[in-house]
Chains A and B, each alone.
Chain A
Amino acid sequence: MTALKGLALPVALLVLWQLAVVLSGMQSDTIAAPDAIFAALGRALTEPAFWADTGDTLAAGGMGLALGFGLGTLSGVLFGLIPPVGRVMRVTVELLRPLPAIAILPIALLIFGFGYRLEVAIVAFGTCFPVLVLTEAAVRQIEPRLSEVARALALSPGARVRKIVLPAVLPRLFVALRLAAGIGLIIAITVEIAANPIGLGARLMQASNSLRPADMYATLFWIGAIGWALNWGMLRLQLWLFPATRGAAQ
């Protein structure tokens, strides 16, 4: 039932779109009607090359995300736990953090060339800093009483991170991961659109360059579907990982 409600609005929009295209009798190199798009998507789904492109984007984006998220959490936890480190790195991080990943593309291209390495590097750069900031904030906001409990029990730094810090920040780390996954996908696709001749972004660009708008929107929809599935999967994971949230209803 809930799922149906969720579908209502998107479906209504699609119908409107189809009607608009049909009624205006539009012929264009950049706009296509939903029925043509779904037909194109159906065709693409039977092509091995389409799945290879999907695999490329997911692999490059995934590796970049893993690297960026790993670096981000590690340094975030470190910065949060040992405030002096965070403070000393502050200006450097604040200067590097907002740098648009896409602005370093020209330079990264000269260094890494095309292929996985380029994409992994840029996705890692783009996801690392948001994760760092969120993790550091989450670590700082741990209930101070819990930190005192950890100190009173003289937990080793490792145990402190494993038993107090991580469980306390995990829910927020998950928000960070979901966000970073979204950002990672965006960056991966953007890199592919702008330069890297692999993956779904390149397919999108090729479709647009060779005047196949239906293919272009089909790819766009597919990217949206992937992002959505990613997010959905992570929500499941969260419920499975944190059974302790079940008592929070009271």
Chain B
Amino acid sequence: QERTSVTLLYTATTGFMTAWVAADQGFFADHGVDVDLQLAQNGSIIVAGVVSGSAQVGLPTPTVALQAIENGLDLRTFASTNIFPETSNAGVVVGAESGIEAAADLVGKTVGVPGIGGLLDVTMRQWLISQGVDVGDVNIVEIALPQTGDAIRAGQVDAVASVDPFSSRAVDMGVGRLIGNYLDVIPDGSAAGIFVTTAEWAEEHPEAITGMQLALAEAADFIRENDAEARESITRYTTLPAPVVANVPFPNLGGALEPETSLGFWNRLALEQGLIYELVDLDTFVIPFPTE
């Protein structure tokens, strides 16, 4: 059997653990794919890495991938990392003594997000809209997630749309308080992150893609049975302190992609918020799992 080498770009988010486990436990290798995992500094450069050929596969969030397609980059996706609902603590963190209780109180306030135009940002906006707030009345700025606690304490921002472990840490430090999980607006089954490659590479290596799909399915099964090994992989790839990792809840593991269920929500959201100008043809975009 011919072997394929693949460089896979990821960011240190626990949601991507199926890929780590599949690599650590040799599932990829079992299916003829030698995967080299490479950490990207931030999510926004993952697609660029794939397009330039530095990596063959990347793990961006769906909105990013949709925008890339809109702007003429021909991409394919073949699996999801994890799917909603999120199990971990995500939510809008506000100052403990700020008096902000609900979305409506954020009008006129400054809210930090990890990346404007990123998944958390657009979702948070959608949440604001669903709570009857005009997004234009909220000042949305970027901050790095690790600074969630410090930024609120220093008064740089009034609230942060954060995720774990940063949101829990801010709460534990007594700096902040959660006022609601904005990720609730996302329909169950939507993909949180997807495995993306270029159309060109996908056409040339169909068997490698199938191999990876199978390996990811095996990894998901493995994680459900072997908690300790899975946490080891998390520690290795996030370099988070071990006590933090011990308390991290596992994500809702994904796998096969259903165009409408997995990505339909993101496609419409991106259109509504003006990130794309027409809906992306999801059936071309998604490479389905092999039917056994």
- Known contacts being A28-B150, A29-B146, A30-B150, is A113 close to B52, with CB within 8 Å? yes
CA distance A113 to B51 in the complex (A): 8
In the complex, which residues of chain B have a beta carbon less than 8 angstroms from the beta carbon of A193? 41
Q: Is there contact, CB below 8 Å, between A210 and B173?
A: no
Would B49 and A210 count as touching, CB distance under 8 A? no
A29 touches B147 (CB 8 A): yes
A231 contacts chain B at the CB level, 8 A cutoff: no
- Interface size class on chain A is 20 to 34
Q: Is the CB of B12 within 8 A of A109?
A: no
Shortest Cβ distance from A176 into chain B, in angstroms?
31
Q: A99–B217 Cα gap in the complex (Å)?
A: 47
How far is it, in angstroms, between the C-alpha of A82 and the C-alpha of B83 when the chains are bound? Answer: 65
CB contacts (< 8 Å) of B240 on chain A: these are 210-211
Stretch at the interface among A53-61, A123-131, A161-169, A200-208: A200-208
- Hey, which chain A residues are within 8 Å of B52, CB to CB? 109-114
- B48 contacts A110, C-beta separation under 8 Å: yes
- The answer to whether B206 has its CB under 8 Å from any CB of chain A is no
Q: How far is the CA of A85 from the CA of B48 in the complex (A)?
A: 37
Bound state CA distance, A114 and B58, in angstroms?
Answer: 13
| Bound-state Cα–Cα, A206 to B173, Å | 22
Min CB distance A201 to B, Å, is: 8
The answer to whether B108 has its CB under 8 Å from any CB of chain A is no
Q: Which of A31, A106, A206, A208 contacts B48, CB < 8 Å?
A: A106
A194 at the interface (CB under 8 A from B): yes
A195 at the interface (CB under 8 A from B): yes
Q: Is A197 an interface residue (CB 8 A)?
A: yes
Given contacts A109-B52, A110-B51, A208-B146, contact A29 B169 (CB under 8 A): yes
Q: A209 at interface (Cβ–Cβ under 8 A)?
A: yes
Using a CB–CB cutoff of 8 Å, the interface residues on chain B facing chain A are 12, 38-42, 45, 48-49, 51-55, 144-147, 149-150, 165, 169, 173, 238-241, 244
What are 5 A-B contacts defined by CB distance under 8 Å?
A28-B150, A109-B48, A110-B52, A194-B41, A210-B238
Interface residue ranges, A against B (CB under 8 Å):
27-31, 106, 109-115, 192-197, 202, 205-206, 208-212
